[in-house]
Amino acid sequence: MQGLLAHQQCSDCPIRHRAVCARCETDELAQMEQIKYYRSYQAGQTIIWSGDRMEFVGSVVTGIATLAQTMEDGRRQMVGLLLPSDFVGRPGRDTAAFDVTATTDVMMCCFRKKPFEAMMAATPHIAQRLLEMTLDELDAAREWMLLLGRKTAREKIASLIAIIARREAALQVRRAKGMLTVDLPLTREEMADYLGLTLETVSRQISALKKDGVIIVEGNRHVSIPDLDRLLEEAGDDNDGGMLV
């Protein structure tokens, strides 16, 4: 798989139309192709340490990574979930502000920072797309601030499941009227780190939502949603906003 991807043409890339290169013309893409390289990480591996010098920036091609911050005493807060097409790194800054960790096996499309910055200066399409993506992330981060600051544990869990479900619903061609179904890409502890809770509270609230029939849980990771509106109500979202990074 990785061997195949490593020689893949950008034109065949699964994230071609969503990543930072989405707006590039054929010739621009050819230039990108020159400076890119693939790199893969195993589940659990740290991709970037906070404070490290960043030699590269890049896009998540496959897999899921997390962006997190840790205090000296070990308290930990996830501040972003990186899905395929999401951008990692920050042009114009040379030390990383957050830890980036692979949650599943991850394949990244990387660019050494300097050449990328040079290309960005020369290619408005890249800067434009990156601006668009960054604005989306900022909106998502602000939605998340409401969750962290004001929602109850139950609402937080419902929100997380709703966000993941919404994303799945957008991707998977609507499976003929079947109940909406998601696989949680995170352990209880990772959910806790994301939601500003403890893993025990996460577990308890999932059990409570299950008992109340809001969700149906099979195994640890598989969740079905009989009534999405009910779930959204539990999440405390009136509006239909609230997409994830």
Partner DNA sequence: AAGTCTCTTTGACGCAGATCAAGTGGAAAC
Partner DNA sequence: GTTTCCACTTGATCTGCGTCAAAGAGACTT
Q: Which chain residues interact with a second copy by CB under 8 A?
A: 51, 67, 69, 71-73, 75-77, 79-80, 90, 92-93, 97-98, 121, 124, 127-128, 130-132, 134-135, 137-139, 141-146, 148-150, 195-196, 236, 238-239, 241
Residue-wise over 79-90: b if at least 16 C-beta within 10 A, else e? bbbbbbbbbbbb
Q: How far is the CB of 194 from a second copy (least distance, A)?
A: 8
45 binds DNA (CB under 7 A): no
Q: How far is the CB of 210 from a second copy (least distance, A)?
A: 24
220 binds DNA (CB under 7 A): yes
Strand partners, 56: 112
77 binds DNA (CB under 7 A): no
Residue-wise over 199-220: b if at least 16 C-beta within 10 A, else e? eebbbebbeebeeeebbeeeee
Residue 53 and residue 79: Cα distance in Å, rounded? 20
Is the CB of residue 137 less than 8 Å from the CB of residue 245?
yes
Q: Which stretch binds DNA (CB under 7 A): 5-13, 64-72, 126-134, 191-199?
A: 191-199
Contact pattern for DNA over residues 143 through 182, marking x by CB under 7 A: ---------xxx----------------------------
- C-alpha to C-alpha distances, 97 to 61, 72, 100, 244, nearest whole angstrom: 22, 15, 10, 20
Q: How far is the CB of 193 from DNA (least distance, A)?
A: 11
Q: Dihedral sign, CA of 104, 107, 112, 118?
A: negative
Q: How far is the CB of 150 from DNA (least distance, A)?
A: 9
**What residue 127 binds from a second copy, DNA, none (CB within 5 to 8 A, per partner kind)?**
a second copy
**What residue 241 binds from DNA, a second copy, none (CB within 5 to 8 A, per partner kind)?**
a second copy
Kindly tell me which residue out of 221, 227, 241, 243 binds DNA, with binding defined by CB under 7 A: 221
**What residue 154 binds from a second copy, DNA, none (CB within 5 to 8 A, per partner kind)?**
DNA
* Burial (CB count <10 Å: 0-12, 13-18, 19+), residue 224: middle
Number of residues that bind DNA (CB under 7 A): 21
Residue with token string 């990244």: 108
200 binds DNA (CB under 7 A): yes
Residue with token string 């990383």: 96
Give the chain's end-to-end CA distance (angstroms, integer).
26
Nearest CA among 106, 213, 197, 212 for reference residue 160:
197
* Residues near DNA, by CB under 7 A: 152-154, 187-189, 196-204, 206-207, 217, 219-221
